[in-house]
Amino acid sequence: MIPAVVPCTDRALWDDHVDRFQGHPQQLWGWGETKAMHGWSVDRVLLEADGSVIGCAQLLVRRLPVPFRALVYIPRGPMCSVEDTPAVLRSLAGHAASRHRGVALSIEPDWDLDSPYAAAVEGAGFRGTTNTVLIPRTLILDLGKSDDELMADMSKTTRANIRKAMRSDVEFRKVKNESELEQVLGIYHETAERAGFGIHEDQYYRDIFRNLGEGSPIIGAFDGEQLLAFVWLARSGATAFELYGGVSAEGQKKRVNYGVKWAALQAMREDGCSRYDFNGLLNDGISDFKKQFGKHENMLLGTWEKPLSPFYPAYARAMPLARKGIQAARRLAKTAAGRARALLRR
């Protein structure tokens, strides 16, 4: 049976279904609301068969120039069982073609590469692509483990830095309000400039904080009222997912970045999450820091696309070039902004 695609317009009902399917926080209503405020349109659908909901997906739609029309993208979705995956994906592809006239349906599921889902995705007519948004190579910790078990997978130096930070006078707690959020953004700018990575405009982060609410906790390391470091997460019922992190120069000296990471792990376990995703590993200093918290790596399924238009081959060739252009523009904008801030500090 081909599942029926049914729109969902009720926030509470939607988030209940995400948690029922052990879904990812980037499938939560509030995440979609934020993307809708920054260039995407959002389509939340339930997949129904024989009177039951067998899957769901939050589709993000980005308009493209003619003749491509639109890209339809599902971050860390859809959500369904292995057995229902082929039927769910075929229905979603049909919906993306008829409703949004997409050139392709792109998915980056929260499924392991070596799981049975891989064959199900390929069997539904999807093909792997390197046009990746979310990095599939990551580190996911099992929050069902005890503190001792989690620490056993860390290096001796990491354990020592955590214990030193936790014995200090620094307070580790959730960011309470938008005034403290502005401190978070200040440290994030400082970290991005120091590490050399691009970031969004500040309003994007403010919108995440407001739209996700309790679904986007920020764990901070505070010396009195002064923020020294933070870990910003998105969380669903099952999964905690790191969005952003940063540390001030003073925080680096005190090594509170180790303590705040540990405090984030504990806070998410206390909130009921069973898995903690560090959100991607690259060959850079930030990833080297992440890898100190576990001896293993996880590989998710990656990015898969279902062609929906005769113009898909041209789109597949053009997308990497367009992405490189956007990245270059962001680097130039970041450099200009950094120089402007340096001039203002003089």
The model's pLDDT over 242-269, given as tens digits with 9 standing for 90+, comes to 999 999 999 999 999 999 999 999 999 9
| Domain ranges across the chain | 4-136+300-344, 144-273
pLDDT band at 324 (very low <50, low <70, confident <90, very high): low
For residue 346, the model assigns a pLDDT of: 46
Domains 4-136+300-344 and 144-273 in one fold = yes
Contact 31, 212 (CB under 8 A): yes
Residue 263 phi, psi dihedral angles, 5° rounding: -65, -35
The model's pLDDT over 12-24, given as tens digits with 9 standing for 90+, comes to 999 999 999 999 9
CATH number at 4-136+300-344: 3.40.630.30
pLDDT above 90 as % of the chain? 88
Structure tokens at 278: 């560090």
The model's pLDDT over 330-340, given as tens digits with 9 standing for 90+, comes to 444 444 445 44
The model's pLDDT over 196-225, given as tens digits with 9 standing for 90+, comes to 999 999 999 999 999 999 999 999 999 999
Please state, rounded to an integer, the average pLDDT across all residues of the chain: 92
Q: Is the predicted pLDDT of residue 344 greater than 60, yes or no?
A: no
Contact 35, 234 (CB under 8 A): no
* Of 200, 270, 211, the residue nearest 240 (C-alpha): 270
Report the sign of the C-alpha dihedral through residues 333, 336, 339, 344, in that order: negative
Topology of the domain covering 144-273 = Aminopeptidase (3.40.630)
Structure tokens at 232: 């910003």
Verdict on whether the full-model pTM lies above 0.85: yes
pLDDT band at 323 (very low <50, low <70, confident <90, very high): low
Q: Could you give the CA distance from residue 37 to residue 28 in angstroms, rounded to a whole number?
A: 15
